[in-house]
Amino acid sequence: MGILRLLFALSVLISHSYPIFGNNLLGRDAAVRGFFVISGFYMSLILNEKYVNKNGSFKLFITNRFLRIYPIYWFTLILSLISFYFFIPSALNLYSLSLDGISNLLRDITVLFRFDYLTINPNFNEAMLISQAWTLVLEILFYLVAPFIVKRSTKFISLLILISVFIRFIVFVILRLNGDPTTDRFFPAEIVFFLLGAISYKIYKNFKQKNIPTKNLLAVLISTITITIFYNAFSFTLQYHWLDFKSWGYLGLLTISIPFIFKLTNKLKIDQMIGDLSYPVYLIHVLVITMLVNVVHYKTSQNLFVLSIIIITLIISEVMVITLEKPIDILRQRRLKK
């Protein structure tokens, strides 16, 4: 599923810059929630098939997930601090010598030292230097509760989905609150997307031993990629308050498609190599955009500008994968084997 993960990351990148050749792929919101669905699938997979028996400790799972999330994030944070200090010092006003400044610093270092994911107050927004890293809060919160959820029955997970959807209904329809940076970060309303990934794993579990023709699996992959790339080219729009049928339809399609795509690609090294780039691309791209816009003053055509951002981001991301992610992943796998 590496190609899908990279497409999601590039969708967020393009949403923070400009459409490329008139296409902005999936768009930020659908891409982020697509990440959540895939994360829910992977956490269900590893908790049910890797972290079992002697490896089934909560501590081992959480610490391994932290090793997956934090080193790349901290590297990006340090790189951002250095870059802004020399080129855009005003960006570091976030860390003033005050109680708020110390709080901002702790929030950026720990990611979890924040409370806006538990509130729907429209005036409460705790900013981060790496602005898109707010999604990591929801990721980590899901890691903390996943061991107690994803091993349960399909009925139990479905019930939690209904509860989360009901909470969304109350927030968006009854209370009439909608959008980032408040309700889009409210974890009880966002966990539904991770849980869709858990349902996706249940589907995969039911047929993973069955023989499915490769051409059928390939057709699912190509169809999903095509819809992802041309998502915003489809003129179909139907929305009722918070319920965007186009977005939810895509996430429903993703939920059903993931088991078939994973069955096809889970042993392909090239797919894993592509997927490994998605997390660094997601974290580093805003810094690349900021540097090109504010420091280099890059002037060219819009398409060439976005292509430059993508190429530079991919190069930096590959360096991060080789120097950080791969060695740490070896450590994580050793801990798991022990």
Note the pLDDT of residue 297: 61
Those residues with Cβ within 8 angstroms of residue 149's Cβ, 6 or more apart along the chain or in another chain: 156, 157, 160, 195, 198
Nearest Cα to Cα of residue 71 among 320, 318, 284, 288: 320
Those residues with Cβ within 8 angstroms of residue 155's Cβ, 6 or more apart along the chain or in another chain: none
Note the pLDDT of residue 246: 83
Which DSSP category does 90 fall into?
A: G
- 51 burial level (CB within 10 Å; 0-12, 13-18, 19+): buried
**The amino acid at 249:** G
Element (H, E) at 309: helix 302-320
Instruction: Report yes or no: 116 and 124 within 8 Å, Cβ to Cβ.
Output: yes
Which domain covers residue 45, as residue numbers?
Answer: 2-337
Category of 234 on φ-ψ map: left (φ > 0), alpha (ψ -120 to 50) or beta: beta
Q: Copy the structure tokens of residue 246.
A: 């186009």
Question: Tokens 């579990």 appear where?
Answer: 205
Cα 49 to the chain's mean position, in Å?
Answer: 22
Note the pLDDT of residue 210: 86
Output the pTM of the full model: 0.92
Give the Cα separation of 89 and 105 in Å (integer): 15
Nearest Cα to Cα of residue 204 among 193, 215, 217: 217
Secondary structure class of 23 (helix, strand, coil)? strand
Note the pLDDT of residue 265: 93
pLDDT tens per residue across all 338 residues of the chain = 899 999 999 999 999 988 888 888 888 889 999 999 999 999 999 999 999 887 878 999 999 999 999 999 999 999 999 998 888 888 788 787 777 778 888 888 988 877 767 767 655 666 788 989 989 999 999 999 999 999 999 999 999 999 999 988 888 777 766 655 556 678 898 999 999 999 999 999 998 888 899 999 999 999 999 999 998 877 666 666 556 778 889 999 999 999 999 999 998 999 999 999 999 999 999 999 998 887 666 556 788 889 999 999 999 999 999 999 999 999 998 888 76
Please tell me the total count of domains within the chain: 1
Q: Would the CA dihedral through 48, 3, 305, 247 be positive or negative? A: negative
Those residues with Cβ within 8 angstroms of residue 6's Cβ, 6 or more apart along the chain or in another chain: 274, 275, 277, 278, 281
Residues for the chain: how many in total?
A: 338
Secondary structure class of 310 (helix, strand, coil)? helix
Note the pLDDT of residue 122: 59
Give the Cα separation of 182 and 180 in Å (integer): 5
Q: Distance from first CA to last CA of the chain, Å, rounded?
A: 28
Category of 8 on φ-ψ map: left (φ > 0), alpha (ψ -120 to 50) or beta: alpha
Cα 134 to the chain's mean position, in Å?
Answer: 10
